Amino acid sequence: MSGHRIERTTEDIKRELTAIFRELKDPRVQQAFLSIIRVEVTNDLSYCTIHISAMEGLDRANDAIKGLKSASGFIRRELGHRLRLRHVPELIFKATDSIEYSANISRILNSLDIKEDEGPQDEPV
C-alpha cells in the first residue's frame, strides 16, 4: 500500500477511535480523561498500535487499557462498519504518560519567575 494511503487510513482510524471511545460504557474507560497520542498501522493493515494517555497519570491509563482490551472486539467491529475496511487491523493498546509529563513541564515553567517585559539586555562595551 502506498504511504499516502496508509497515512490517510491512520488518521481515519484515529478520528473514529476517538468517537468510539466516547460511546464505550466500561467505567474504566468512561471515568478516565483519555487522549489518543499516536496511531501506527502496519503496511499490510494487519496490526494497529494505539498509544493512549490519561490526564490522571499512567496508572489510570493502564486501567483504561484493560477496559479497551476487553472491548476490542466491539471497537474493531465499529471501525469496520464506519470505515468500510475489508480487513480491520488487530488493535494493540499501549499506555503512555505523555499528558502527565507535559503537564508537569508546564507547571515547572509556570513556577519560574520570568517577567515578560524584560528582554535580553546588551551590556555597554
Task: Kindly report, residue by residue over 89-109, the tens digit of the pLDDT.
Answer: 999 999 998 877 887 888 888
Give me the percent of the chain exceeding a pLDDT of 90.
51
Task: Kindly report, residue by residue over 63-78, the tens digit of the pLDDT.
Answer: 999 999 999 999 999 9
3-23 vs 72-83: helix crossing angle, rounded to 10: 120
- In the chain, at which residue ranges do the beta strands (DSSP E only) sit? 34-41, 47-54, 90-96
CA atoms 28, 13, 76, 83: torsion sign: positive
> Would you kindly state where each structural domain of the chain is located, as residue ranges?
3-101
Of 3.30.300.20, 3.40.50.970, 3.40.1010.10, 3.40.630.10, the CATH number of 3-101 is 3.30.300.20
Instruction: Give, as one character, the DSSP assignment of residue 117.
Output: T
What predicted TM-score, i.e. pTM, was given to this entire model?
0.77
- For 94, the 3-state DSSP assignment is strand
